[in-house]
Amino acid sequence: MKRDSRFFKQLKLKLSSTFKKKNRDDGVSRSGPFLELDGDYGKAEDLANVWSLDKTDSSVADSQRKRWPRLVLAGMAFVAIMLFVFLVLPKVLPGFFKNTDIALFVEKDPELIYDDTYRVVKVSACSVMSEDDVTSQRITQLLMNEPVHFLNDDCENGYVLIRTMDNIVGYVKGDELNTDMSSCEPDLHLFKIVVADISKRVMSHASNGTLIAEVAMNTVLYADVKRDGVYQVQLPNGESGWISSSGVIELGINDETAEVGVRYFVSSVLTMINATYLDGGVTNRGISIQGLAYVAAGVNGVPIPRELKDQVNCGTEVKLEYDEVTGDLLIDSIIPGDIVFLADPYRPNSREPYEAAICTHSGILLMRASTGTSIKLCKFDANSELVGRIITVRRVFS
């Protein structure tokens, strides 16, 4: 206990001497309750030193300069993504999903056939003339929605020079053509419709509509909508209309009419009995025999030329048979569907075809009436004057 008492007394004296010495050094009394501590505590701090704040970290302008490279990189990335989505993917995906069910949902760009050198017929039938004059010879007629090559509009009387798709050059009325080819561009539509009846009406509505146009046999139209019993077709005058499904043939947009039996050809021919005769005509409003052969064969899957001079070489030639005793023509060697080419009655020895007739039954021909105003059925036998006029017989349906 004595040792402890002695230790505390010495410590008290030591502390007392220390405080006295400090009071003498700075002249300030330290006898208060707060004593000064050794070290740097309480001194002002250098913020730049303590927090490492330099010019770069404290400058807003420098921060904006650093942000620009990031924005440029972000912009470049955005452009690259857009190019990939809109340019690369549309070209890559169709090939990647080709021959799979997904390919059905990838829309392809339409392939257009016609450019600005083409025109399309916008009337039911358009006459092709040999000269730019209404009094000149009619070569043939074109049907509604039929495309033609436009050659020249430096013509008289409102005519323009054109060439048909089967290379007939002639003059047509300029106001009967349209420059918008969308109505006959197959890839812009869903269905191809071929008129098989003698004629069909195109109406403004699917039911109880008004008449927009009347189209003839072998007219080709394209449809976008199919409902029960009707199609919505696009017309070359910029309108769309509705046509009933009876008496028409539905095809794929790039398909051609399939060949059928000869009896269908004969049935189509017989729909024109008593129709008005018109040189070069191809519709029930006025028709020639070569025009009838052209549209009836075409709608039944056998395309043949329009003009008489070309039809004389179509199909295969029929070898006519004669009686061995009398030398008379055997009428049965000309069968239904055969096209008979006849010489001029005033020049029976000529080998140039003057007119044509179509055999509908054994011994019966559909041909121009003797009055020259209509189409009639005519009987003939071995003694008929027609036999002497026969140049050749062609069989277009097997």
Q: What is the pLDDT of residues 273-289, one digit of tens each?
A: 999 999 999 999 999 99
**Is residue 43 a part of any domain in this protein?**
no
Average pLDDT, the chain: 85
Pull the structure tokens for residue 160. Answer: 């323009």
**pLDDT value at residue 207:** 86
| Cα atoms found within 13 Å of the Cα of residue 41, Cβ hemisphere only | 5
In tens, the pLDDT along 173-207 reads: 999 999 999 999 999 999 999 999 999 999 999 98
Domain boundary (223, 255, 287) is at 255
pLDDT over 90 at 55, yes or no: no
**If you search the block for the tokens 């050749």, which residue do you land on?**
392
Do 133 and 246 share a domain, yes or no? yes
The mean per-residue pLDDT over the stretch 214-240 comes to 95
Are 251 and 115 in the same domain? Answer: yes
pLDDT confidence of residue 172: 98
The predicted structure's pLDDT at residue 258: 95
CATH number where 214 lies = 2.30.30.40
Kindly state whether residues 173 and 95 are assigned to the same domain. no
Domain membership of residue 319 (yes or no) is: yes
Same domain, yes or no: 118 and 231: yes
pLDDT digits (tens, 9 = 90+) for 4-53: 555 555 555 555 555 444 444 445 444 444 445 555 555 555 555 555 54
Q: Which pLDDT band, with edges at 50, 70 and 90, does 85 fall under? A: confident
Range of the domain at 289: 257-398
Kindly state whether residues 202 and 266 are assigned to the same domain. Answer: no
Residue 96 lies in a domain: yes
pLDDT of residue 171: 98
Q: Is the pLDDT of residue 395 over 90?
A: yes
Domain total for the chain? 3
Q: For residues 82-105, b (16+ Cβ closer than 10 Å) or e, as one string?
A: eeeeeeeeeeeeeeeeeeeeeeee
Q: Between the CA of residue 238 and those of 14, 122, 177, 185, 188, what are the distances in Å? A: 118, 9, 12, 13, 14
Is the domain of 312 the same as that of 378? Answer: yes
* Separation between Cα atoms, residue 267 and residue 133, nearest integer Å: 36
